[in-house]
Copies of this chain bind each other. A is one copy, B any other.
Amino acid sequence: DDGKQLSNHFTLSAPPAGSQWPHGLGSAQVRQEVALLRPLAVPYRLLLGPGPSNLSPRVRAAGSQQIVGHMHPEVLQVMEEIKAGIQYAFQTRNRITLAVSGTGHCAMEAALINLLESSDTVLVGNNGIWGERAADVARRLGAKVHELLKPPGEYFTLRDIQEVCATCGAPGLSPTQVLTVLFSPRAWHSTNPQWGCGAELWSPSRHGCLLLVDAVASLGGVPILMDQQGIDVLYTGSQKVLSAPPGISPISFSERAREKMQRRKTRPPSFYLDMSCLASYWGCDGEPRMYHHTGPVSSIFCLREALAGLAELGLESSWKQHQAVCTRLCQGLQDLGLELFVKEEAARLPTVTTVRVPEGYNWKEITAFLMDKHSIEISGGLGPTAGKVLRIGLMGHNATQDNVDRLLQALRDALQHCQHSRL
């Protein structure tokens, strides 16, 4: 009985008269769903979770533009501007600087899939779900994975890295097989302050490995200087500080990373994310551009406007702004009697603040109350912190003092209405 396998979407009925299909096939069996024939209705929400952020007005305008062909000179010019915008935002002069046609996770995969071969060893700094993801992807690629584990809220020190590098460089492994993947912590949102001067204190090149940094939740909100910090691969998302829709992700590869990719003995198991093809399509290799895939034109327009907004504001102003609203938020949260998850002040990421769920409260009730009564989104934890924390993002267009005050007032309201065991 076919009917049993159906989801409940369909209104099944006899085929309409005159609906004989060509080639001797039967008639249409699957009908239009009623809900799809209603108008699209999107409610307004203030998005103060860990992302996506609300779109800025200029990004919304770009999203409503009529598109042109993805290889038109006007789109190629916009792609050039995006490359320059990423180079500015990343503070890099890397030639291979472009945007992959996917989300932040896709950019992570693009990095690993191009850098790793099955013979390679990779060290993954795992202090949260994104480290787990990177280790998962590296294992799928057949690489030998070493994990540097840290509890949520903690970060990696130079000593940690040095110790594990020594282990990885053990018999049978040449140093160049070691690739250090270090994540700017996304899920727990503590920065790795000692890594701010990584290039001076610890040099990946001296250790014969590459340094990969995930800056999805941090780029534009906290100082990251790719070239000066000796970062070999850096990527970010569009939907955090950049305040653009998710779906297109900036990425950049150093000269050393490019050389490692050129030395590959096998091709990456993806054509979509093959960086040699993408570099050609984005005009990064000085050769005529080769068609690769149909660029997501609307997303390209939106990303251009987001990068232009950051360039107009200036990186340093953006960092200051994020630090200021984060400081105001942390003070307000503590005034409400809440406990910040990351103990060390210098280790807190200004873009996303993680706070413990207060005793006697259910995190889901708090987030639901904020949504229902105040149209504000904040999030619970993810992976190992699920159920334990609330995550509050103030990024890009949303990083304003007004939003801090609005959120604190809503949280005060929630704490009054949602308490359970305290009753």
Chain A residues near B (Cβ < 8 Å): 2, 5-7, 9-10, 19, 21-26, 28-33, 35-37, 40-45, 47, 49, 51-52, 54-55, 60-70, 72, 74, 77-78, 80-81, 83-85, 87-88, 91-93, 95, 101-106, 109, 113, 133, 136-137, 140-141, 193, 196-197, 200, 223, 225, 227-229, 237, 239, 245-248, 255, 267-272, 291, 293-299, 301-302, 304-305, 307-308, 311-312, 314-316, 377, 379, 382
Complex CA–CA separation, A103 to B54 (angstroms): 24
Residues in B whose Cβ lies below 8 Å from that of A7: 83-84, 87, 93, 95
A225: min CB distance to chain B, Å: 6
Residues in B whose Cβ lies below 8 Å from that of A379: 69
Given contacts A60-B64, A63-B63, A91-B28, contact A247 B246 (CB under 8 A): no
Residues in B whose Cβ lies below 8 Å from that of A311: 32-33, 36-37
Given contacts A6-B93, A229-B25, A246-B297, contact A88 B54 (CB under 8 A): no
Given contacts A35-B81, A36-B85, contact A102 B272 (CB under 8 A): yes
Of A67, A84, A293, the most chain B CB neighbours within 10 A belong to: A67
A183: min CB distance to chain B, Å: 15
Please name 12 further chain A to chain B contacts, defined as beta carbons within 8 Å, in addition to the given A25-B196, A40-B301, A47-B68, sorted by A numbering.
Answer: A23-B223, A24-B197, A29-B91, A30-B227, A42-B66, A47-B69, A52-B67, A54-B66, A239-B294, A245-B296, A247-B248, A269-B270
Complex CA–CA separation, A31 to B314 (angstroms): 9
Residues in B whose Cβ lies below 8 Å from that of A25: 196-197, 223, 225, 228-229
Residues in B whose Cβ lies below 8 Å from that of A36: 81, 84-85, 88, 304, 307-308, 311
Given contacts A29-B227, A43-B68, A95-B5, contact A297 B84 (CB under 8 A): no
Complex CA–CA separation, A68 to B40 (angstroms): 13
**A109's contact among B72, B133, B272, B299, by CB below 8 Å, is which?**
B272
A115: min CB distance to chain B, Å: 14
Contact between B66 and A64 (Cβ–Cβ < 8 Å)?
no
A186: min CB distance to chain B, Å: 11
Contact between A102 and B102 (Cβ–Cβ < 8 Å)?
yes
Contact between B93 and A298 (Cβ–Cβ < 8 Å)?
no
A291: min CB distance to chain B, Å: 7
Contact between B84 and A42 (Cβ–Cβ < 8 Å)?
no
Contact between A296 and B67 (Cβ–Cβ < 8 Å)?
no
Given contacts A33-B311, A55-B66, contact A9 B237 (CB under 8 A): no
Residues in B whose Cβ lies below 8 Å from that of A102: 101-102, 106, 272
Top 4 closest A-B pairs, CB basis? A23-B196, A247-B296, A64-B64, A245-B298
Contact between B24 and A316 (Cβ–Cβ < 8 Å)?
no
A181: min CB distance to chain B, Å: 15
Contact between B6 and A67 (Cβ–Cβ < 8 Å)?
no
Residues in B whose Cβ lies below 8 Å from that of A61: 64
**A293's contact among B103, B268, B269, by CB below 8 Å, is which?**
B103
Contact between A298 and B105 (Cβ–Cβ < 8 Å)?
no
Complex CA–CA separation, A25 to B231 (angstroms): 13
**A78's contact among B40, B74, B228, by CB below 8 Å, is which?**
B40
Chain B residue at smallest Cβ distance from A136: B271
Complex CA–CA separation, A193 to B42 (angstroms): 42
A111: min CB distance to chain B, Å: 12
A317: min CB distance to chain B, Å: 11
Residues in B whose Cβ lies below 8 Å from that of A35: 77, 80-81, 84
Contact between B137 and A70 (Cβ–Cβ < 8 Å)?
no
Complex CA–CA separation, A267 to B248 (angstroms): 25
Residues in B whose Cβ lies below 8 Å from that of A307: 36
Chain B residue at smallest Cβ distance from A314: B32
Residues in B whose Cβ lies below 8 Å from that of A29: 91, 93, 227-228
Complex CA–CA separation, A239 to B66 (angstroms): 12
Contact between B315 and A43 (Cβ–Cβ < 8 Å)?
no
